Amino acid sequence: MDRQPTVYMLASRRNGTLYIGVTSDVVARIWQHRQHLVAGFTQSHGVTLLVWYEQHETMETAIEREKRLKKWNRAWKIRLIEEMNPYWNDLWPDMCGCKSESH
């Protein structure tokens, strides 16, 4: 996966706690979340499953999208996740090209 500005959603489990973030290096950033290297909300709430993401042409549009999504109500966020990922599968293994947590 290339280094394209990406908005992403992490979850603690299906219908669990959600986190929305934006990054220019999604593989590295999700790895940091999964290794609990990012102090704060995701670490304290066990939010590590990548359940949705969307790539953008520019960081500006990605940040705009992140800000809009953070204002959405929970039902809208869940519907967005389920449009892309109806079973709430962890998308991380496909994104990183790895099948184990050691990568």
The topology (CATH level 3) of 6-96 is GIY-YIG endonuclease (3.40.1440)
pLDDT at 72: 98
Quote the CA–CA distance of 86 and 21 in Å, as a whole number: 20
Pairing of strands 6-11, 49-55: antiparallel
pLDDT at 60: 98
Q: Where are the domains of the chain?
A: 6-96
pLDDT at 71: 98
HSE on the CB side for 80, CA within 13 Å?
Answer: 20
pLDDT at 103: 42
pLDDT at 100: 57
Quote the CA–CA distance of 1 and 25 in Å, as a whole number: 9
Q: Give per-10-residue mean pLDDT for the chain (103 aa).
A: 89 97 96 92 94 97 98 98 97 85 46
pTM over 0.85: yes
